[in-house]
Amino acid sequence: NALARRPELDRFQLEKERRSVELQLAANQELPTLSVFTAVAQDVGFSSKTFTGTGPFATDRTTAEVGATFEVPLPRRDARGLVRTAQAQLAQLLGLERFARDEIASQVQDAVSELVQTYARVTQAREEQRRANEVLQIETVLFNERQTSLFELNLQEIAAAEAQVRVVSVLGLYFGAVANYLAVLGADAPAPGVGGCV
């Protein structure tokens, strides 16, 4: 999904197309050139005939020319250099694209690992909060029955409050990991089952 959505790879695709066109242009400059031309001319006006007679000395007001030129570039070093430059640039671009793909895959793996770890921390913090609340309830019952002191009750209240603060703190880290995961995927909205599982 990340490889399909990330804009960096779209940029590489456009750049590869541009480099391919440059390579084709450079390769075309190595090829011989055949040019064909035609021309038609007609005299207008009231000029008198200069030549009289028939055959090649007859004067005609319309002329036509047909011709062709065939050029072979003898010093083709410039064209070969352009081809090699374009090939090297295309190879470099492909290497950069592979590197970008590998980097995106690594970022996705890191984001997934962070997401799994923070989710485990949320689960652990919630379990600690549940146990702290159970101990607080027991301590409250004992205090009401006058079997424990107010000091002991206050200690358990502080422990329960600290456990709740840890849950909130770890939830913040978890949702930060979800946001990082979505950013790495290039997604605009949460994927199904992500972010709403805590």
pLDDT range class, residue 111, cuts 50, 70, 90? very high
Model confidence pLDDT, tens digit, residues 130-152: 999 999 999 999 988 888 888 88
The pTM is what? 0.59
Question: Residue 156 and residue 142: Cα distance in Å, rounded?
Answer: 12
Q: Does position 163 have pLDDT exceeding 60, yes or no?
A: yes
% of the chain exceeding 90 in pLDDT: 33
Question: Residue 5 and residue 173: Cα distance in Å, rounded?
Answer: 25
Model confidence pLDDT, tens digit, residues 54-110: 555 455 556 778 888 877 766 667 777 777 888 888 888 888 889 988 998 999 999
The enclosing H or E element of 25 equals: helix 7-28
Phi, psi angle pair for 50, to nearest 5°: -85, -40
The predicted structure's pLDDT at residue 38: 86
Query: Quick one: how far is CA 18 from the chain centroid?
Result: 16
* Tokens at 145, concatenated: 């029955």
Q: What is the DSSP string of 77-138?
A: HHHHHHHHHHHHHHHHHHHHHHHHHHHHHHHHHHHHHHHHHHHHHHHHHHHHHHHHHHHHHH
The predicted structure's pLDDT at residue 73: 66
Q: Does position 191 have pLDDT exceeding 70, yes or no?
A: no
